[in-house]
Amino acid sequence: MLLFLNRTYFPDGTNGQLHADGTFICYTIELPWKENEARISCIPEGIYFIRKRYSCKFQWHLEVVAVYNRQLILFHPANDALTELQGCIAPVCQLSGPGLGLMSRSAFSKLKTVVYAALERNEQVELRITSTL
C-alpha cells in the first residue's frame, strides 16, 4: 500500500493531506520544518515504511521507520502540533490553522483501520512525503 502525504509548510506548523492508494484518508498536522531537529521539527520529505507499534501511552498506533537522525516518529492523535507533538504526525478530520486540526481521534481510527488491514494482508506500507510549492 502507498500512503502519500502532501504537505504545506507554515511558520507555526505543517499541514498535509494523506491519501492511501489514491483515496483521501484525512488531513495531517505536524510541527514546522526546522531542519529535522529532534522534537521541534517535522521529519524530512522522502520515502519511509510504516509498522504497527504498541506503547502504554498511545496503545496500538503506527511508527514511521528509519527516519534519518530521528527515532520514535509516530502517527498518533493530536489537535495542536506545537503543544502535543515532538516530531510525530497527527491525523485530523479538519484543519483549523497551521499545525492545528479537529477530531484527531476519529481520523486516527480511520487511518489505523486502513493501514492495519494492509499489514494483515502482509503488504508493505510505504509513506511518501512531498510538498506543494
| Structural domains of the chain, count | 1
Domain interval for residue 72: 2-131
Question: pTM score, two decimals?
Answer: 0.95
pLDDT tens-digit series, residues 35-74 = 999 999 999 999 999 999 998 887 889 999 999 999 999 9
Asked if residue 132 lies in contact with residue 7, where contact means CB atoms within 8 angstroms, the answer is yes
Q: What is the mean pLDDT of the chain?
A: 96
Can you read off the three cell numbers belonging to residue 51? 509498522
pLDDT in tens, 54-64: 988 878 899 99
Is the pLDDT confidence value at 87 over 90?
A: yes
- Burial (Cβ within 10 Å: 0-12, 13-18, ≥19) of residue 101: buried
Model pLDDT, residue 133 = 63
- What is the widest separation between alpha-carbon atoms in the chain? 39
pLDDT tens-digit series, residues 17-32: 999 999 999 999 999 9
CATH number where 111 lies: 2.40.440
Residue with cell 497551521: 98
